[in-house]
Amino acid sequence: MASTRRGLPEINAGSMADIAFLLLIFFLVTTTMDVDTGIARKLPPMPEEELQEDDSQIHAKNIYVVLINANNQLLVEGELMDISQLRDGAKDFINNNGRDPNSSENPEKAIISLQNDRGTEYMTYIRVQNELAAAYNELRNKASLNKFGERYADLNKTQKKEIRKMYPQKISEAEPKNIGGNE
Amino acid sequence: MSKFRKDGKKGMPAISTASLPDIVFMLLFFFMVTTVMRETTLFVSVVTPKATEIKKMEKKSLVSYIYIGSPIKRMQASYGSAARIQLNDAFAEVGEIQEFIATEREARDEKEIPYMTTSIKADETVKMGIISDVKQELRKANALKINYSTRKGDY
């Protein structure tokens, strides 16, 4: 120890901090956790054994039936439909306000019923969910632009609540059927 | 700048910066340790479907993950290529999900339980049958907040 001190001059440790900082920043930048994104949904609670829900009170015209079969084809309100048309179809249905007597009375009563087969591909299912969510989001956006002059995402909590009340997102999922046979 | 130096030189001796690296290293280690990615080793290959109407997941610590997909190549010899469920670090059957949710709940504070979310990370080619089974189990376990993990993208 003594010999080194006498021999060479002490190494300047001042720049060590810079090196460490560099490393620190490197780690801070590279360990960005990839943000998880997804479509949030709420499952209905398990029904009580005896208490079966009485769906008969809901008028059939207020229900928008979307069926997906094992071949990933869509049957919407009894008609074959391409997935790209679903968004507009759902929007028309929700925003009908009694114009078409066979469609929903108003957005608050409109319910979208979704049923898939056990053989449906997950991708198709998500796409349908996405289109339905998009239909609601577009309607909400339009309503909030009309009412508050801002996009739905920029509204404050009470304003959002109001818009949500105008367009409640009611997507009901029936238990899947196994028509397609194979799993 | 010059004013500074003059003062310092005249008044007190310069503070030794030799310990600064130690402090910074401490910070460095802190970050390295805390930003551990809780990435379980995946035994199933998962390519999540694309979607546009997505939301960011809020509290990561309150999220439990369920992976669904076909086993990776290395595992296919022993497990086949049919879609399977992975919980934590092992393959699981549908019936084990309730237990999984229960242990996840136990690990959290009681107040946080209502905010817990279950993220379903399923491969886009998986059939809905297995997903429906998982959903039914989650309903039975009363874990109703779910999130279909997707990536951003248009079709």
What is the DSSP secondary structure assignment for residue B27, as one 8-state letter?
H
Within 10 A of A26 (CB to CB), how many other CB atoms are there?
11
CA dist A129 and A150 (Å) reads: 25
Residue type, A99: R
In degrees, rounded to 5, the angle at the alpha carbon of residue B54 between the alpha carbons of residues A133 and A157 is: 80
In sequence order, which ranges of chain A are alpha helices (DSSP H)? 2-7, 16-30, 86-94, 122-148, 157-166
**pLDDT score for A183:** 43
Helices A86-94 and A122-148: crossing angle, nearest 10°?
Answer: 50
CA dist B125 and B127 (Å) reads: 6
Of the spans A54-63, A71-80, B19-28, which averages the highest pLDDT?
Answer: A71-80
Q: What is the end-to-end Cα distance of chain A in Å, rounded?
A: 75
Q: Do B148 and A41 touch (CB under 8 A)?
A: yes
Quick one: closest CA in A to B34, which residue?
A31
Kindly indicate the confidence band of residue B122, based on its pLDDT and cuts at 50, 70 and 90. Answer: very high
Q: Is the pLDDT at A42 greater than 50, yes or no? A: yes
Q: Using a CB–CB cutoff of 8 Å, tell me whether B38 touches chain A.
A: no
Kindly indicate the confidence band of residue A50, based on its pLDDT and cuts at 50, 70 and 90. Answer: low
In the block, residue with structure tokens 């300047």 = A12
Q: Is the pLDDT at A136 greater than 60, yes or no? A: yes
CB-closest option in B17, B57, B128 to A125: B128
pTM for the complete prediction? Answer: 0.76
Evaluate whether the domain defined by B44-152 bears CATH number 3.30.420.270.
yes
Contacts of B138 in chain A (CB under 8 A): 43
CA dist A44 and B143 (Å) reads: 10
Q: Using a CB–CB cutoff of 8 Å, tell me whether A71 touches chain B.
A: no
Q: Do A45 and B142 touch (CB under 8 A)?
A: yes
Kindly indicate the confidence band of residue B101, based on its pLDDT and cuts at 50, 70 and 90. Answer: very high
In this prediction, residues A26-50 reach a mean pLDDT of: 75
Based on the number of CB atoms within 10 Å of its own CB, is A172 exposed (0-12), middle (13-18) or buried (19 or more)? middle
**Residues of chain B numbered 93-122 and touching chain A (CB < 8 Å):** 117, 119, 122
Indicate the domain borders of chain B.
2-34, 44-152
Quick one: closest CA in B to A128, which residue?
B51
Question: Which phi and psi (to 5°) does residue A74 adopt?
Answer: -105, 135
Q: Are A13 and B125 a contacting pair, CB within 8 Å?
A: no
Show the tokens assigned to A130. Answer: 């996405």
Q: Do A134 and B53 touch (CB under 8 A)?
A: yes
Q: Is the pLDDT at A36 greater than 80, yes or no? A: no
Kindly indicate the confidence band of residue B110, based on its pLDDT and cuts at 50, 70 and 90. Answer: confident
Helices (H) and strands (E) in chain A, counts: 5, 6
Q: Among residues B83, B85, B81, which one has the least CA distance to residue B136?
A: B85
Q: Is the pLDDT at B38 greater than 70, yes or no? A: no
Please write the tens of the pLDDT for every residue from A63-109.
Answer: 888 999 888 888 988 888 898 889 998 888 888 887 888 788 888 88
Please, how many CA atoms are within 13 Å of residue B111, restricted to the half-sphere of its CB?
0
